[in-house]
Amino acid sequence: MMVDKQYCMSSFMAFRCIIDDDKDFYEGMSHRDNVFRPVAESEKIPCKTAEDIHRAIAAQFEQYKGKKLGIMLSGGIDSGILAYYMKGCDAYTFRFLGGEFQQIELERAKRIADANNMTLHYVDIDWKTVEDNVDAVMETKNSPVHSIEPQILAAAKMALADGVEVMIVGESSDLIFGGMDLMLSKDWTYEEWVKRYTFTEPAEVLREPVDMTPVYEPYRLPDGKADYLRFMDDIFAIESSSSYLNAFRTAGLAYFDPYAKLVMAEPLDLVKCRSGEPKYLVRELYHMLYPSFDIPFKIPMPRPVDAYFADWAGPTRPEFRTDIDMSKYTGNQKWQMWCLERFLNKYE
């Protein structure tokens, strides 16, 4: 392992994780951003139809008979489908800012819970919840973290107190079945993809940025396009799933994603995805299971970062530039700067 603080800061700003397994912020602190590894190809279950997905998910729940299960239940189709196989279990739904944020999601989650005779628990999240949990997830990962991790840890703690032994999540469905509709919206040129995927350009906010474009180079195609589907499998999947893994590992609670073992038996129909039918197989299954319910479109896991950081003046540590125009950044980008600064303050 090699200490390269500048690289790690730039990698976190660009990708929300540390891409290089061999580089760390500090001596003796091996980061755990890339602990998650996708399921081996030999273990994947090919799914050609909605019925195939139904059978594959149902079969996987057999291994948890006799266990007390909980589910992270949003108002979306992925967790809604999994809830169908967990009748009578405990469900945990995030409620932010006294219930005033993402109200429609709360209503949909309650409808799913009622349909499956579930005990619905609201995990109330505010800024204090974030501050109470962020240091713990950073300590486990040995790096700054994604903005969803403190709230996942809060939900895991509540579930543990309720006696839950395994938490069920539906995080992998989007990547496997074509739910990342904005990323799939076109065939990107290499330059477009670099700009599209980079969360925060390191040179805009750091005094000593490190060029992160070498991470993209293996995905440059001869025709000037980007192999964005492979990039999503190699980079985005690990970054996203590692956030869940880290939060549950910090809590000491086992979790399971039934979608993670599934794979499409046929190539993703990008025409359908780009014509208003992202995750068309999963949407079909949702309609099969809940024929009287409207099919909701994807909403990312809610976190009111725009509200949290509306008045934040920006980072003050010397690693950051002094001329950052905070008005141009989203709440999620401000989270990255805030979390990186908190991490550096914690260990220096």
Which CATH number is 254's domain given?
3.40.50.620
pLDDT of amino acid 104: 82
CA-CA distance, 348 to 344, in Å (whole number)?
6
Residue 282's Cα: distance from chain center in Å?
18
Please name the helix (run of DSSP H) or strand (run of DSSP E) that holds residue 239, with its range, or none.
Answer: helix 237-251
CA-CA distance, 29 to 31, in Å (whole number)?
6
pLDDT of amino acid 28: 87
CA-CA distance, 133 to 148, in Å (whole number)?
11
- Residue 322: inside a domain: no
Rounded CA Rg of the chain = 20
pLDDT of amino acid 298: 65
Q: How many distinct structural domains can be found in the chain?
A: 1
pLDDT of amino acid 42: 82
Give me the residues paired with residue 255 across strands: 167
Walk along the chain (348 residues) and give the pLDDT tens digit of each residue.
799 999 999 999 999 999 998 999 999 888 876 665 667 788 899 999 999 999 999 999 999 999 999 999 998 999 999 999 999 999 999 998 766 667 888 899 999 999 999 999 999 999 999 999 999 999 999 999 999 999 999 999 999 999 999 999 999 999 899 988 788 889 999 999 999 999 999 999 999 999 999 999 999 999 999 999 999 988 888 788 888 999 999 999 999 999 999 999 999 999 998 888 899 999 999 999 999 998 887 666 667 899 999 999 999 999 999 999 999 999 999 999 999 999 999 998
| Alpha-carbon separation of residue 240 from 138, 146, 156, 245 (angstroms) | 15, 9, 17, 9
Which amino acid makes up residue 327? S
Residue 249 phi, psi dihedral angles, 5° rounding: -65, -40
Residue whose tokens read 């994604």:
146
pLDDT of amino acid 301: 67
- Residue 268: inside a domain: yes
- Residue 52: inside a domain: yes
CA-CA distance, 218 to 215, in Å (whole number)?
7
Q: Assess contact for 137 and 343: CB atoms under 8 A.
A: no
Q: Assess contact for 105 and 300: CB atoms under 8 A.
A: no
- Residue 60: inside a domain: yes
- Residue 226: inside a domain: yes
| Closest among 193, 58, 77, 125 to 185, alpha carbons compared | 193
Whole-model pTM: value is: 0.93
- Residue 11: inside a domain: no
Q: Assess contact for 184 and 273: CB atoms under 8 A.
A: yes
| Closest among 108, 117, 123 to 156, alpha carbons compared | 123
Please name the helix (run of DSSP H) or strand (run of DSSP E) that holds residue 9, with its range, or none.
Answer: helix 5-15
CA-CA distance, 39 to 176, in Å (whole number)?
12
| Alpha-carbon separation of residue 184 from 69, 191, 237, 241 (angstroms) | 34, 16, 14, 19
| Closest among 301, 306, 286 to 155, alpha carbons compared | 301
Sign (positive or negative) of CA dihedral 97, 101, 103, 106:
negative
- Residue 317: inside a domain: no
Residue-number span of the structural domain to which 189 is assigned: 34-200+207-305
- Residue 195: inside a domain: yes
